Amino acid sequence: MQGDLAVFPLPMLTVLLSAVAAGLLWRMDLGRVAATRFFAAFFLVLALGSFMVGLRFGYGVDTLVPVQRALPLFAGPLLWLGFASFTRDRIADLALWHLGAAVSIIAVAPWVFPDLLDLDLVVGASYVVYAAALLWMWSRGANHLSHARMGDAVLLRRWMLAGAGLLLVFALADTAIALSFAARRSGDAMAVISAGAVVMAFGLIAVIVAVSKGGGRMTTQVTVAKTTSDPEAEALEARARTLLTERRLFLDTDLTVDRLAKRLTVPSRALSLAINQTKGVNVSQYLNDFRLDHAAGLLAEGQSSVAEVMEQSGFLTRSNFYREFQRRFGVTPAAYREAAKAAQSGI
């Protein structure tokens, strides 16, 4: 089996792909520098772990086995910290606790877990714990990501689900590998390693493509069901509308729910609920409607290109601008401009 892996070292392919994903995420603008660093570090851990697996099973280098078995303890905390960065102003205290716990376990491992199987089970438990933590964070809704850009929270929650699923897959795979080695069934362990490398390679390619298409920025919006309204909610929405229009804050691409709520001196959750109750949309969609009205006005004037209108209206990607514009007005930006010209000629 070592010979097979040496001919086609699948773990080494995941090393390359993980390193590429880490580099792309390091440069990606998520609005929170800490998040990009944690996500990039997560993929670097995957790269380093895959490299050690490739050395061990592809080339018979066993020197780094203890490190290779303990390194995954950092994967769950790094991924969770990346998403947690969007929920609070400071993340350093959390990073100290969670990464410090991983370091502490590794430090005492030779005495507390002399059998590597025990350490493998601890790693598997770590994956499960952080997957559960991600699912709990996801369950709190987009408004919990108060430091994310308004257009990014929905997509971040999708990534959160994918991250939780990935950690659970890691837990199952690592546990299966550890138990196979403990039962002296190395053939089964090697089969799981090879299959896992293939699955990881495809997953990493999907991440690279998604990040590359995002152009370093993330935008997505969804509508939510309208609920009942009340005078307090209407008053707060009116204040938000006045602030956005008078200060033209909707043109700020880095505007977040938390920043807008602070301007209004109200909790971010209260603002989100007020907009949901009065307009039937989330804050991200609410903000987009201001941008779309602004874009429609610029198109009617006819002095800027569609691309320039997109940028001047606070949109980050062409695809999102076109999709949202057609949702709102039923036509493409170019068609809207032609209709506006025709109407002006008729006058």
Q: Which residues pair with 223 in a beta bridge?
A: 281
| pLDDT for the residue numbered 224 | 39
In this predicted structure, the answer to whether residue 342 has a pLDDT above a threshold of 60 is: yes
Asked if the model's pLDDT at residue 215 lies above 70, the reply is no
Residue 347: band (very low, low, confident or very high) from pLDDT cuts 50, 70, 90? low
Q: What tens digit of pLDDT does each residue of 111-152 get? A: 776 666 677 888 889 999 999 999 999 998 776 777 777 667
The larger pLDDT score, comparing residue 26 to residue 197, is at 26
pLDDT beyond 70 at 2: no
Q: How far is CA 73 from CA 4, 100, 119, 123, 189, in A?
A: 29, 11, 10, 6, 20
pLDDT, average across residues 299-317: 86
What per-residue confidence (pLDDT) applies to 95? 93
Vertex 307: Cα angle to 302 and 311 (nearest 5)? 100
The whole-number pLDDT of residue 164 equals 94
Please indicate whether residue 253 or residue 40 has the higher confidence score (pLDDT). 40
Q: Are 219 and 316 in contact (CB under 8 A)?
A: yes
pLDDT value at residue 229: 53
Residue 191: pLDDT band by 50, 70, 90 thresholds? confident
- And the tokens for 167? 């950690």
What's the mean per-residue pLDDT of the chain? 82
